[in-house]
Amino acid sequence: MYAEVRGESGDIRITAISTGTANCHKLQEAGRDGASPMRRKLDIMRDREWTGPKPIYTFLIEHPEGLFLVDTGDNHHNSEQKGYLPWWNPFFQKAVQIKVAPEEEIGPQLTRLGVNPGRDLKAVLMTHLHHDHTGGLGHFPHTPIMVADENVKAAKSKGSLAGALKSSFPRWFDPTPIEFTGESIGQFTRSAPITKDGSIVAVEIPGHMEGQVAYLVRAGDVTYVLAGDLTYTQEFLLADVVDGVTADPDLSLASQRKVKALAAEEPIVLLPAHDPGIERRLPANEVVPSAVSSDPAAVGAPGKE
């Protein structure tokens, strides 16, 4: 039932905690070459092939300055409560299958790991506000929630049309904007320091959703890249394959290539939110290859951007 995996380097430890599973169509995780955002979504609705259950990961960072959680996963209401997802949205009703048991929510899982979600976290760091990343927000009423302002605006203005579920946000939800006051990192022109020592920073990876960010955790010999939904798997990233639900395929591809460029400059361990390969890569601190193929056939993808 429980799925967690750890990696550590130096004095920093990352624990990936799966809050249930998500099953989607294959054309959701890998869109067709050259298709527009609307065409990609229509392709998903027509697709009859499913990927099979994939993890819904959150990431606990144990850092000298405190405990940080990246994303909050989903909750059991999404898989049990009729009407939780809007009935009028065919994508929510037909194209995704969420399964989360109550004890798989992030609050109970942190408690099981000896972390009190009400008082032990320094901050919750959101990559973006899609419903399968915000389902556990209610467990953290006393913890600062950090989100890029552009992402908050997209979630509130577009709602479920952008994959966000405003009705699931807690009444007290008033996130702290991420401030991009830091220097450039590789091809990322702006960064946002999260910790005082600068070893955790946010960088912008828009495309999948407006204002999506990744968190770089510089730890010992490697940099962990907690990448949200930048890509569904590392293999798709390496082959320049963009997902089917992206708000902007060109921006998604540009963001993916910035991460690949970073991998050529320093050893990074890529941690997307739904990648089953994390179970193997994280304990081994397996880094992204710096010399990669751009052939989508290598991963069975429908086409390269």
Question: What's 180's domain CATH number?
Answer: 3.60.15.10
**pTM score of the predicted model:** 0.94
> Per the domain annotation, does 245 fall within a domain?
yes
Print the domain residue range for 274: 4-299
> Per the domain annotation, does 304 fall within a domain?
no
| Main-chain phi, psi angles of 146, to 5 degrees | -105, 130
- Does residue 207 have a pLDDT over 90? yes
What is the distance between the alpha carbons of residues 124 and 155, in angstroms, rounded to a whole number?
Answer: 17
> Per the domain annotation, does 64 fall within a domain?
yes
If one counts the domains in the chain, the total is 1
Looking at residue 82, what is its pLDDT? 82
> Per the domain annotation, does 38 fall within a domain?
yes
| Per-residue model confidence as pLDDT tens digits over 32-90 | 999 999 999 999 999 999 999 999 999 999 999 999 999 999 999 998 888 888 888 88
> Per the domain annotation, does 305 fall within a domain?
no
